[in-house]
Amino acid sequence: MRVPLVAGNWKMYKTVAEAVDYARRLKSSGSPAGVELAVCPPFTALLAVGRELAGSQVGLGAQDMHWAEEGAYTGEVSPLMLKELGCRYVILGHSERRQHFGESDEAVNAKVKAALRHGLVPIVCVGETLAEREAGRAREVVAGQLRGSLAGLAAQEAGNVVVAYEPVWAIGTGRTALPEDAQEMSAFIRALLAEMFGREVAGKVRIQYGGSVKPENAAGILRQPDIDGALVGGASLQVESFLAIARAAAK
C-alpha cells in the first residue's frame, strides 16, 4: 500500500523568519494520519525549518541540487550539503528549472542518481506544455522525460523514486487537470515504470499530481487510484490550505 505524499514547493518565497513561523505552526497543528507531509523551502531556510520540524513527522526537502558532492560550481548546492541539513527529499526537474534554467533530462538523470546514492528521495517532475498537449504529444513528452530522467537506474533504486506529474499549463495558472486526465497520465506513467523496472517496482512508486492543487479541487484528484499525493506550490504557502490538501490525500 502506497502512503500518499503531499509536498509543499515553496519556490522562491518566504524569508527565514516567515519560514520558521510557518514550520512552528505546522508542527503544532499535527499531521493527519495516513499521509506523509514534506515541505521544500528555499535553500536559505532549510536549516532553520529543519530545526523547527525536528521530532515531527513532516519531512524536509530541497527544490533542486547539483549532482556532484563538491566542486567549483558557483551558486550550486550538493547532495551532501542537503543531507547535512536533514533533508529527506529533493525536487528534481521541476518545469520551472527546465524552462528558465535549461535543465535537460540528462542533467536531471545525473541528479537523480546522485540523490539516490546519498539516500535522498528524488521527486522527479515530468509534464507537458499546453502546446504539446494540444498537439496530441502529451504522452510522448512525458514518456521521454521519464525515460531520460530515470535512465540507467537499477530496479531496486527506482522503487525509491517519487514521480510528480505536473502538466506545465496547470502550474501556477489556477487551471487544474481534470481528475480523469490526471489519472490517465498517472496510469500511463505507472505502465511505463512497469516496462522499465518491472511491475513490482511500478506498484511501489508514488506518483503525485501537481498543478494548481487547492483545498477545493484536491479531493477529486487525490481519490484517483494511481495518484498518491500532490506536489503543491501556491496553496502550500499557507499552513491551513496545505493541511486541508493533506487531509484530502489521507487514504
The span from the CA of 199 to the CA of 186, in Å, is 15
- CB 110, min distance to ligand PEP, A: 21
* The binder of ligand PEP chosen from 45, 150, 161, 232 (CB under 6 A): 232
246 binds ligand PEP (CB under 6 A): no
* The binder of ligand PEP chosen from 212, 217, 224, 241 (CB under 6 A): 212
Residue 118 is among the residues annotated as catalytic for this protein: no
The span from the CA of 183 to the CA of 221, in Å, is 8
- CB 238, min distance to ligand PEP, A: 12
In the bound state, the residue with its beta carbon closest to ligand PEP is 233
Residue 166 is among the residues annotated as catalytic for this protein: yes
Task: Show the DSSP H helices in 54-154 as ranges.
Answer: 79-84, 95-101, 105-117, 130-134, 138-149
Residues with Cβ within 8 Å of residue 153, at least 6 apart in sequence: 112, 113, 116, 161, 197
**Phi, psi (rounded to 5 degrees) for 230:** -140, 150
8 binds ligand PEP (CB under 6 A): no
User: Grid coordinates 506513467 are at which residue?
Assistant: 189
Q: Which of 52, 66, 94, 96 is catalytic?
A: 94
Nearest in space to 139 (alpha carbons), one of 100, 76, 191, 102 = 191
- CB 53, min distance to ligand PEP, A: 20
Contact 27, 81 (CB under 8 A): no
- CB 96, min distance to ligand PEP, A: 7
Binding window for ligand PEP (CB under 6 A); candidates: 34-42, 44-52, 140-148, 233-241: 233-241
Distances (CA, A) of 32 to 6, 29, 134, 218, 221: 11, 9, 38, 15, 18
61 binds ligand PEP (CB under 6 A): no
Nearest in space to 123 (alpha carbons), one of 173, 199, 61, 78 = 61
- Map residues 16-45 to x or -, x wherever contact with ligand PEP holds by CB under 6 A: ------------------------------
- Map residues 190-209 to x or -, x wherever contact with ligand PEP holds by CB under 6 A: --------------------
Contacting residues toward ligand PEP, per CB under 6 A: 9, 166, 171-172, 210-213, 231-235
